Amino acid sequence: MPQSISKVNYFRLLSDIISIVCVFVFSSFITKPELEKSDSILLLLLVIGWYFSTKISNTYDDFRTERYIGELLLIFQNVLVQSVIAGQVLFILNRHEYTRRFIFAYIVILLIVLIVKNYIIKKILFYYRQKGGNIRNVVFVGYNEITANLITQIQENPHYGFRVIGIIAKEEEVNDIGGNTYLGDLRKFLSMNEDYKIDEIIITTDEISNSLMQEVFMVSERRAIRTKIVPSYITYYPSRLQFKFFGNYPLITFRSEPLQEYHWRLVKRVFDIVFSLLVFLFIFSWLFPIIAILIKLDSKGPVFFRQYRWGKNNKKFKCFKFRSMRPESKDVTENGAFNQAKMNDPRITKLGQFLRSSSLDELPQFINVLLGDMSIVGPRPHAHEHNIRTKDEVDSYLVRHWIKPGITGWAQVNGFRGETKTIEQMEQRVKYDIWYIENWTLGLDFKIIFMTVYNVIKGEDMAY
């Protein structure tokens, strides 16, 4: 576990493991005729699995400021891992006769025990901290919007277990600190002999020289005070910062990117391939010939429309679609501007209107998915000319090209599909795309796919 874990969290971990052991024995007793040697192996794996799943999910790291609903979600998540471990181990051990009954009893009882136990611990801690126990005294260095917000959170949530001792700030900032105790400027605080009972110093200002910052650390270490820093730029990137090391040097990145992790890219790629093959097997195999024949009967020209679009890392690729426009149609106007499809666009054929409104024209892009140019879900790829025009007009536009483009995406299912008439509309689309990049999960992909199917059935105003 992280070095910063408190005694309270060690107690929570230990009590959870004891709960797992007790629930395991009880569940075995009510669902099996007798315990076997292999049960000890399963129990050991369940305990190890709980340790690592809670470590990965940071279950015990932020107990002081975690709301109870957040703890419930973590409990459900970790218990789900327990059910997977139990199911796999019992399957390998060929213990099918008791598997379902045992897993059902174990998971249900464990959920009830952990929920009740954590609720009781939460209430005991809340009462204990109200009486002044398990409280950490905090001093803030610097007074600004960040400081004010943190103090408000502490005051409105006494169960966090923090008490604000005072503010260290410049003399000209004294009138701005409200009802908080003023402890003087930083130099005065460092030189004073008076002993405050301080557990933590939180620095929220960047107006401190390197030499003075080093002195703060030295004095804090001498007085056994933990020092923490809230970067001023946190106000611009409140939930996206990630802290990593490059050798011995700490690096702060401004955006969370789950798909930077190789294992998640592999999971997404496997899902893309399996899903695409199922589409080809059950839908494309019979629907493709029908659409191809209808396109040929409706107008002269090729079945497919191929257009260069930008993919991951701005790499161009040929994107496949069923042709929905007349073959002589142009993507670029005479003055060189990209000619987006519009409502009642005369270039669109009669069959093309149906294909576009039903999104069936996008089906050939599953070929691009199998080729590795696209994903099932991701930011929609734009034509080359569209990218050239927009990348300098919309901030962060090219961030959407950090991952593979998708057949459908978070922006599309939230109403931003088709023609973008204004820069503001494109900015909103880009915000949704970047949110997807920062918050990707496989579950989110499933959600977007279901929303896409629902929108297609319901019909969309911008599908033209």
The amino acid at residue 43 is L
Residue 146: what pLDDT?
84
Query: Has residue 238 got a pLDDT over 60?
Result: no
The amino acid at residue 72 is L
Q: How far apart are CA 158 and CA 26, in angstroms?
A: 37
DSSP string, 226-251: EEEE--GGGGTSTTT-EEEEETTEEE
Rounded average pLDDT over 347-358: 82
Torsions phi, psi for 261 (to 5 deg): -75, 130
Residue 1: what pLDDT?
35
Q: Tell me: the pLDDT tens digits for 104-124?
A: 999 999 999 999 998 888 888
Q: How far apart are CA 274 and CA 74, in angstroms?
A: 30
Q: How far apart are CA 317 and CA 306, in angstroms?
A: 10
Q: How far apart are CA 6 and CA 12, in angstroms?
A: 10
CA distances from 209 to 32, 169, 170, 206 (A): 67, 14, 14, 8
Task: Please tell me the number of Cα atoms within 13 Å of 309 on its side-chain side.
Answer: 23
Instruction: Give 316 or 184, the one with higher predicted confidence.
Output: 316
> Do 159 and 126 form a contact (C-beta atoms < 8 A)?
yes
Residue 63: what pLDDT?
45
The candidate with the shortest Cα–Cα distance to 122, out of 9, 209, 3, 219, is: 9
Rounded average pLDDT over 448-464: 77
- Which residue ranges does the chain devote to CATH 3.40.50.720? 136-236
Helix intervals (H) in 313-461: 350-357, 365-371, 384-390, 410-413, 423-439, 442-458
Residue 198: what pLDDT?
84
Residue 61: what pLDDT?
65
Please say whether the dihedral angle defined by the alpha carbons of residues 341, 364, 358 and 269, taken in this order, is positive or negative. Answer: negative
Residue 461's pLDDT band, with cuts at 50, 70 and 90, is: low
Residue 334: what pLDDT?
58
Q: Tell me what the pLDDT averaged over the chain comes to.
A: 82
Residue 2's pLDDT band, with cuts at 50, 70 and 90, is: very low
Q: How far apart are CA 87 and CA 81, in angstroms?
A: 10
**pTM recorded for the entire structure:** 0.59
Residue 233's pLDDT band, with cuts at 50, 70 and 90, is: low
Query: Has residue 3 got a pLDDT over 50?
Result: no
The proportion of the chain whose per-residue pLDDT surpasses 90, expressed as a percent, equals 24
Q: How far apart are CA 2 and CA 55, in angstroms?
A: 8
Q: Tell me: the pLDDT tens digits for 379-406?
A: 999 888 778 888 888 888 898 999 999 9
Q: What is the gyration radius of the CA atoms in the chain, in angstroms?
A: 29
Q: How far apart are CA 410 and CA 449, in angstroms?
A: 9
The proportion of the chain whose per-residue pLDDT surpasses 70, expressed as a percent, equals 83
Please say whether the dihedral angle defined by the alpha carbons of residues 32, 34, 37 and 39, taken in this order, is positive or negative. Answer: positive
Query: Has residue 18 got a pLDDT over 90?
Result: yes
Residue 5: what pLDDT?
46
Q: How far is CA 324 from the centre of its chain?
A: 37
Q: Tell me: the pLDDT tens digits for 264-308?
A: 899 999 999 999 999 999 988 899 999 999 988 888 888 888 888
Residue 92: what pLDDT?
78
Structure tokens at 220: 């804090």
CB atoms within 10 A of CB 76: 12
CB atoms within 10 A of CB 199: 15
Residue 396: what pLDDT?
83
Structure tokens at 287: 């629907």
Q: Exposure string (b/e) for 414-425, b if CB count within 10 Å is 16 or more?
A: eebbbebeeeee
Query: Long-range CB contacts (< 8 A, 24+ apart) of 259-264?
Result: 259/403, 259/437, 259/440, 264/440
Question: What crossing angle do the helices spanning 96-130 and 7-31 adopt, rounded to 10°?
Answer: 150
Structure tokens at 361: 């024209």
Rounded average pLDDT over 98-107: 85
Residue 273: what pLDDT?
95
> Do 154 and 138 form a contact (C-beta atoms < 8 A)?
yes
Does the domain spanning 136-236 belong to CATH 1.10.3720.10?
Answer: no
